[in-house]
Amino acid sequence: MIYSLLLGENEGGISPRYQANNTLFILHITPTSILPQGRKQNSKNNKMNRGELIEVKISEYAFGGRGIAKVPTGDGDFVIFIDNCFPGQTVQARITKKKKRYAEAKLVDVLERSSEEVVSDFQEISGGPYIYVPVEQQEEVKKEATLENFQKLSHVEDVASKFDTFISSPNHFHYRNKMEYSFSNIEHIPATGEEVDNAFALGFKRRGTWWKVENLNKPSGLFDEEWETKLIEIRNYLKATNLPAWHPPKKHGFFRHIVVRKSFAEDKLLLNLVTSSEGLKKFDAPAFGKFIQELMGDRIAGLWHTVNDNVADRAKIENGNSTLLFGTPKINEELLGLTFEISMESFFQTNPKCAELLYTKALDYVFEEEQKDDEIIMDLFCGTGTIGQILTTRKQNAKVVGVDIVEEAIIDARKNAKRNGINQIEFFAEDVGKFLKEHPEFQGKIGTIILDPPRAGIAPKTLLKVIELGAKNIIYISCNPSTQARDTATLIENGFSLEKLSFVDQFPHTGHIESIAKYKKF
Q: Give the Cα-Cα-Cα angle 310, 315, 316 (nearest 5 degrees).
A: 115
Nearest alpha carbon to residue 311 among 386, 225, 253, 388: 253
**Distance between CA atoms of 23 and 9, rounded to whole angstroms?**
14
Q: Give the Cα-Cα-Cα angle 258, 259, 265 (nearest 5 degrees).
A: 135
Report in angstroms the alpha-carbon separations of 32 from 59, 130, 379: 9, 23, 51
**Distance between CA atoms of 238 and 298, rounded to whole angstroms?**
21
**Distance between CA atoms of 200 and 232, rounded to whole angstroms?**
11
Name residue 33's amino acid.
S
Q: Which residues contact 353 (CB under 8 A, 6 or more apart)?
A: 169, 170, 171, 175, 264
Phi, then psi, of 412 in degrees rounded to 5 = -65, -40
Exposure b/e, 118-146, CB count within 10 A at least 16 = b: eeeebbbbebbbbbbbeeebbbebbeebb
Phi, then psi, of 487 in degrees rounded to 5 = -70, -25
Exposure b/e, 480-517, CB count within 10 A at least 16 = b: bbbbbbbbbebbbeeebebbbbbbbbbbbbbbbbbbbb
**Distance between CA atoms of 415 and 300, rounded to whole angstroms?**
24
Q: How much of the chain is helix, strand and coil, in % rounded to 5?
A: 25, 35, 40
Exposed/middle/buried for residue 206 (C-beta within 10 Å: 0-12, 13-18, 19+)? buried
Name residue 66's amino acid.
R
- The single residue of 85, 354, 382, 479 carrying the catalytic annotation is 479
**Distance between CA atoms of 427 and 424, rounded to whole angstroms?**
10
Respond yes or no: is residue 354 known to be catalytic: no
Nearest alpha carbon to residue 152 among 30, 265, 237, 64: 64
Contact assessment for residue 402 and residue 449, using Cβ atoms and an 8 Å cutoff:
no
Give the three-state DSSP class for 23: strand
For the annotated catalytic residues, the residue numbers are 479
